[in-house]
Structure 1
């Protein structure tokens, strides 16, 4: 019999990978995840390769796993993938104590976190069509002030004649 298949939660052009129980605080992991959000996959992997953060290697493995899922399970083109989302969640917290003076103890919290990376396939032609730059828009939409004033004066003198 087997289990019934679930509907896919993601669109057809996306794939994800989840890493649970990473031994780092979510705040520190979010700094590394912020480095790769919205970037092309090859650029994100390069930044993680040369990052000095300890957890960057595990984040890199997660991105590579998401790319492998996209390629093998969903038949997406690896060259067109971007890191659409990279979000961090809390996991368990190990609670330890550190012995202090006079028989007291100080808490030590060892947090774990989890990382979800979603990669999306985007078409190259959409990425190449960018909005015109602000400088180009300004030059085409307005005339210089002196030229505009002289055009208005010429128009009024023609009307007067």
Structure 2
């Protein structure tokens, strides 16, 4: 049985968040939560929230205990980019790209 949770339009760069997502793949839910809780990156908190949501979905909808679940997959997709401009010298401008992400965590009960 597979259970997933998705968080969309999170204001963090997908490139910076993919390292944390790769670190929790294949771990139990408890170990993955520990990694996201003590990681200093901003993205770790958002991935931890999505992981807790997926575990809650498994318990509420499927009746599977969170102790038996492992992280099958965790991936970060790029969302829409907010485009802004920064004024520069001599009347020119430089672009600022404020990136967003879609976080998906898939849990399974088999190894």
- TM-score normalised by the chain length of structure 1: 0.67
1:1-161 → structure 2 map (5 Å cutoff): 13-122=1-110
The alpha-carbon deviation at position 57 of structure 1 amounts to: 1.0
- Report the alpha carbon displacement of residue 113 of structure 1 after superposing the two structures with TM: 0.6
* Cα drift, residue 75 of structure 1: 1.2
| Higher relative contact order (Cα pairs below 8 Å, separated by 6+ residues) | 2
Q: Any conservation in 2 of the 1:93–1:110 contact (CA below 8 Å)? A: yes
Check the 8 A contact 1:22/1:113 in 2, yes or no.
yes
Give 5+ residue unaligned stretches, structure 1.
Answer: 1-12, 128-161
Match of 1:5 in 2: none
Deviation string 1:110-133 (CA, Å, 9 cap, x unpaired) is 0101011000012xxxx6xxxxxx
Offset at residue 77 of structure 1 (A) = 2.2
> Offset of 1:101 from its aligned partner?
0.7
Distance in 2, matches of 1:49 and 1:77, equals 21
How large is the Cα RMSD of the aligned pairs? 0.9
* TM-score, with structure 2 as normaliser: 0.96
Name the CA distance, whole Å, in 1 between partners of 2:106 and 2:9.
18
Distance in 2 (CA, whole Å) between partners of 1:78 and 1:96 is 42
Question: Higher Cα Rg: structure 1 or 2?
Answer: 1
Q: 5+ unaligned residues in a row in structure 2: which ranges?
A: none
Structure with higher strand content: 2
